[in-house]
Amino acid sequence: MDNAELLQRLVQEEGSERAAAPESQEETTRYLVFHTEGARYALPSALVREVVIEAPKFFVPFVPPYVQGLINRHGEPYTALDLSMFLTQKRLEASTYLVLSLPGDQIALLITDVVEILRVGASEIRTLAASGEQEGYILGSFQLNDQEVLVLDVDAILSRLRSDVDRE
């Protein structure tokens, strides 16, 4: 899915939400679902500024192995994180980035591709006990087409990045 398709989908969903009468008062959040290798992850779509395909990256020395370097977005440097390397210790061979919109941080996550944007009710997200490398970086999960989608904890990822960079 490219930026134009994502924007069109967001506008369509927003219009349909206004037209539909609320059936329940359950809180919902719009998530952007994406792949990294075989796994599906999600972030609240409000955290995603843009999707970038094939941005040149600039090497930065003395950083953790999951930091690919920097990418330039509209004259601003964004730290490029290999999400697969961060979570599973396997380098991802891809060229698509989710540029995040975070106060005070400029981060871009390397992913394989965008799957979908959808609304998920709070009751649909279940807590799960992540283990291994993912422990502490997953807020919960929900089902999409009979596959589990893991909801990432961006604050925990940023906290580890800051800690790791301070040690380097």
- pLDDT tens-digit profile of 108-123? 999 999 999 999 988 8
19 band by pLDDT with thresholds 50, 70 and 90: very low
165 band by pLDDT with thresholds 50, 70 and 90: confident
State residue 5's pLDDT score.
72
Structural Rg of the chain based on CA atoms:
16
Class of the domain covering 47-167 = mainly beta
List, for residues 131-143, the tens digit of each pLDDT value. Answer: 666 678 898 899 9
pTM assigned to the model? 0.81
Determine the length of the chain.
168
State residue 21's pLDDT score.
41
What is the pLDDT averaged over residues 17-41?
77
What is the distance between the alpha carbons of residues 164 and 157, in angstroms, rounded to a whole number? Answer: 11
Question: Beta 147-152 vs 39-44: how paired, if at all?
Answer: parallel
| Domain edges within the chain | 47-167
Q: Would residue 3 be called left, alpha or beta, if left means φ above 0 and alpha means ψ between -120 and 50 degrees?
A: alpha
State residue 6's pLDDT score.
64
Tell me the average pLDDT of the chain.
Answer: 85
Rounded to an integer, what is the distance from CA 59 to the centroid of its chain? 22
The percent of the chain in helix, strand and coil, each rounded to the nearest 5, is 25, 45, 30
What is the pLDDT averaged over residues 89-99?
91
